[in-house]
Amino acid sequence: MTVLEKKPTDRLQDSLAQVQRLIERHHLVEELVHRQDMPKHGLVEELVHKQNVNELHHKLDQLHPADIAYILESLPLDDRLLVWDMVKSERDGEILLEVSDAVRETLIESMDAHELVAAAEQLDADELADLAPDLPRQVVYEVMGGLDDEEREQLQSALSFEEGQVGALMDFELVKIRADVSCEVVLRYLRRFDELPDHTDKIFVIDDDDILKGVLSIRKLLVSDPDADVSEVMATDVVTFHPADDAEDAALAFERYDLITAPVVDEKGVLIGRLTVDEMVDVIREESESEVLSLAGLREEEDLFAPVIDSVKNRWAWLAVNLCTAFVASRVIGVFEGAIQHLVALAALMPIVAGIGGNSGNQTITMIVRALAMGQMQPNQAWMLWRKELGVSVINGVVWGGVIGIVAWWLYDSFSLGLVMTAAMTLNLILAATMGVLVPTLMQKMGRDPALGSSVLITAFTDSGGFFIFLGLASVFLM
């Protein structure tokens, strides 16, 4: 009885550790073989080596493709390719689907065209479509040549949609029935399958023209009178999607209505595919991932063990943007060099004004970006939210600005410097609140992703703005 194994994450960690141990031994034995050229010793090592490789093979064969993907992602490049070579080639396709984009690239690079074709041929049309953009064009053509007409059409349809669209995520494994048969007939029909498609929680009811008329939930089918007609027990109020719909919207609908599968129909209502919850979970995960990554100034997910140069490429774009905004802020300070020369305390105090503004602006913008993404805020509510944020920033400005103003007064023994500090903090927080509402709302209105670069942008405003406000006030009132 294997039900009561350790919890899944521990089991996975154990597998990883085991594979790592085997790889280590592998390296050790190889080193030994290389070191001593005596044929007799070599023979023993050869045997150990073989046994070791066998053990590794055996371990890998037992693992779920998702687990192998995890292990591949957790290994440094050399070891990763060693393991990848040992995985049974008929599993290559499904594993390539499971690994992260960055790791997939390294695996595909290590395979020749022949291996890639073999791997791709194991996949369904919709899976192939997921993999196709990463494959050499020649390989895709060759695989396409081997498909039947229906599959080729499905593949082309899936490839015609962009990554963020429902059409690119749907699959074509549908169980379809007519409305005028009895539940008994449906049950008998299902029994003829060797296996029902993954995640089948409902059967799609169509008419003669393939137009979706409703869905029959399996849960309903199981408790219904066998003599009842499908039309009596099916649901007609169905959440459907179009292939051009946004995948993130679809994921929100899955979340909202607790869906497992949902039909995809074209503009005429013809059933063309289905979405499954596992794809939607991936969408949610990727969405949040890309939000965190772009907040941190990373272009895309990174292979932890990628060569240094790949990481540099992934990160340079945001660093360059940041460099420009930092340079602008620096020039703003440059304008006030005279004032700083005159009162050097300004140089020490100005980063506080800018820093608090940046933190507060990031709080506001994050909240607004989230609300826009979840559809909880309409752009016409910006005005109202702005007034609220103003309130928050005035309170924070007076309280925290007051605290830091008193500290500045005490440190530099100048009441007016403390007052300027408090005023500058308050004004910069007001600027932060204003930009925090304005920037994402405008981005959204212009049809851009409001999350992208929001953090860098807001910091640019609060840095340059903070320096300008503080040094400007100081020039006017303290000089």
Binding to a copy of itself (CB under 8 A): which residues in 232-271? Answer: 236-242, 245-246, 249-250, 252-258, 260, 265, 269
* Shortest reach from residue 54's CB to a copy of itself, in Å: 23
Cβ-Cβ contacts under 8 Å for 416 (sequence gap 6 or more) = 477, 478
- 370, containing H or E segment: helix 345-373
CB nearer to a copy of itself: pick between 81 and 239 = 239
Count of residues near a copy of itself by CB under 8 A: 142
- Does 158 contact a copy of itself by CB under 8 A? no
Cβ-Cβ contacts under 8 Å for 203 (sequence gap 6 or more) = 175, 176, 177, 186, 190, 215, 216, 218, 221
Can you count the helices (H) and strands (E) in the chain? 22, 5
Q: How far apart are CA 115 and CA 64, in angstroms?
A: 21
* Nearest partner of 174 among 136, 131, 212, 139, judged by Cα: 212
* Shortest reach from residue 37's CB to a copy of itself, in Å: 32
* Shortest reach from residue 240's CB to a copy of itself, in Å: 6
CB nearer to a copy of itself: pick between 44 and 403 = 403
Site string for a copy of itself, 38-77 (x = CB under 8 A): --------------------------x-xx--x--xx-x-
CB nearer to a copy of itself: pick between 149 and 257 = 257
Among 193, 383, 410, 415, binds a copy of itself (CB under 8 A): 193
Q: How far apart are CA 455 and CA 28, in angstroms?
A: 48
Q: Answer whether 75's CB lies under 8 Å from 305's CB.
A: yes
- Does 430 contact a copy of itself by CB under 8 A? no
CB nearer to a copy of itself: pick between 137 and 192 = 192
Site string for a copy of itself, 401-420 (x = CB under 8 A): --xx--x---x---------
CB nearer to a copy of itself: pick between 38 and 309 = 309
Among 44, 47, 113, 296, binds a copy of itself (CB under 8 A): 296
- Does 438 contact a copy of itself by CB under 8 A? no
* Nearest partner of 274 among 365, 430, 424, 170, judged by Cα: 170
CB nearer to a copy of itself: pick between 38 and 374 = 374
Site stretch for a copy of itself (CB under 8 A), options 22-30, 119-127, 147-155, 368-376 = 368-376
- Does 371 contact a copy of itself by CB under 8 A? yes
Q: How far apart are CA 262 and CA 204, in angstroms?
A: 9
109-138: contacts with a copy of itself (CB under 8 A): none
CB nearer to a copy of itself: pick between 158 and 421 = 421
Site stretch for a copy of itself (CB under 8 A), options 3-11, 87-95, 118-126, 132-140 = 3-11
CA distances from 262 to 14, 121, 205, 250, 458 (A): 37, 27, 12, 10, 39
- Does 5 contact a copy of itself by CB under 8 A? yes
Q: How far apart are CA 292 and CA 283, in angstroms?
A: 14
210-229: contacts with a copy of itself (CB under 8 A): 212-214, 218-219, 222-224
CB nearer to a copy of itself: pick between 132 and 295 = 295
Residue position matching structure tokens 């503080």: 470
445-474: contacts with a copy of itself (CB under 8 A): 456, 459, 463, 467
CB nearer to a copy of itself: pick between 53 and 305 = 305
CB nearer to a copy of itself: pick between 154 and 459 = 459
Number of Cβ within a 10 Å radius of residue 161: 18
HSE of 271 in the Cβ direction (CA atoms, 13 Å)? Answer: 27
- Does 377 contact a copy of itself by CB under 8 A? yes
Residue position matching structure tokens 């050869």: 46
Q: Answer whether 129's CB lies under 8 Å from 159's CB.
A: yes
Among 83, 233, 295, 382, binds a copy of itself (CB under 8 A): 295
Backbone φ and ψ of 285, nearest 5°: -60, -45
Cβ-Cβ contacts under 8 Å for 327 (sequence gap 6 or more) = none
CB nearer to a copy of itself: pick between 131 and 350 = 350
Between helices 8-35 and 77-86, what is the axis angle to 10°?
100
**Residue length, the chain?**
479
Site string for a copy of itself, 305-344 (x = CB under 8 A): x--xx-xx--xx-xxx-xx-xxx-xxx-xx--x--xx--x
**Three-state DSSP state, 317:** helix
* Shortest reach from residue 267's CB to a copy of itself, in Å: 9
Reading the block at residue 160, the tokens are: 């015609």
- Does 12 contact a copy of itself by CB under 8 A? yes
HSE of 412 in the Cβ direction (CA atoms, 13 Å)? Answer: 21
Q: How far apart are CA 155 and CA 126, in angstroms?
A: 6
Among 36, 54, 110, 378, binds a copy of itself (CB under 8 A): 378
